[in-house]
Amino acid sequence: MILIFLGPPGAGKGTQAAHIVERYNIPQLSTGDMLRAAVAAQTPVGKKAKEVMDAGNLVSDDIVAAIVEERIEAEDCAGGFLLDGFPRTDVQAEMLDAMLQKKERAVDVVIELKVDETALLDRLKKRIAETRARGDEPRKDDNEETFKYRLQVYKDLTAPLIPFYAAQDKLKEVDGMGSVAAVSAQIDAILDDFGPKN
């Protein structure tokens, strides 16, 4: 099963991804996490990406697609994977289709997590407070101003993927406003039609 998670920053993609990984035994490929790892390791990609990410802008399509293409070669992706944070532009969606086609694979389902904007900002403030309470520093792009900018980037560049996948009949909407368990239950109901679960 090849699954894409779409949704604005703070929609709960990471939280739900953890649930899917466990239930369906497929890896989560978070481009945000992969890029942050590259930044921390100060690789050439990481050096290029750091400022772009801190400002809430998108890293170039080529860089991100190359990271994904390499990652999906790994053995643990043979039975499927969950893409979290990719594709994020229409160009990336086309690059993804092309790389999957080469392997005679295709996206099975796209889950859109729908959450209203005020809730997103409240969740951000909570996430920052929890991080500080643990004694950690919040992500550089997790402040109110950059977050609002990331939300706008989502609306401008990523939201157009919603009709793109709807036209392919792959889009499933999930109400992301309920409890974590309630959101998971909706996702399970959709995914149980696909492939084996744990």
Give yes or no for residue 161 binding ligand ADP (CB under 6 A): no
C-beta closer to ligand ADP: residue 153 or 191: 153
The beta-carbon contacts of 136-139 under 8 Å, at least 24 apart in sequence, are 139/36
Among the listed residues 35, 38, 107, 111, the single contact to ligand ADP using CB under 6 A: 35
Give yes or no for residue 88 binding ligand ADP (CB under 6 A): yes
Give yes or no for residue 92 binding ligand ADP (CB under 6 A): yes
C-beta closer to ligand ADP: residue 28 or 92: 92
Q: How far apart are CA 68 and CA 51, in angstroms?
A: 21
Please choose, out of 29-37, 99-107, 166-174, 186-194, the segment that lies near ligand ADP by the rule CB under 6 A: 29-37
Give yes or no for residue 24 binding ligand ADP (CB under 6 A): no
C-beta closer to ligand ADP: residue 124 or 191: 124
Q: How far is the CB of 87 from ligand ADP (least distance, A)?
A: 6
Strand order in the sheet with 2-6: 28-30, 81-84, 2-6, 109-114, 171-175
Please choose, out of 19-27, 81-89, 98-106, 176-184, the segment that lies near ligand ADP by the rule CB under 6 A: 81-89
Token pair 């550089």 is at which residue? 140
* Length of the chain in terms of residues written: 198
DSSP for 71-136 reads HTTSGGGTT-EEEES---SHHHHHHHHHHHHHTT----EEEEEE--HHHHHHHHHHHHHHHHHTTP
Q: How far is the CB of 57 from ligand ADP (least distance, A)?
A: 6
The pattern of x and - marking residues 48 through 67 that bind ligand ADP according to CB under 6 A reads ----xx--xxxx----x---
| Contact status, residue 26 vs residue 79, Cβ threshold 8 Å | yes
- Per the annotation, the verdict on 71 as an active-site residue is no
Token reading at 100? 């999957």
* Contact set with ligand ADP (CB under 6 A): 9, 13, 31-32, 35, 52-53, 56-59, 64, 85-86, 88, 92, 141, 150
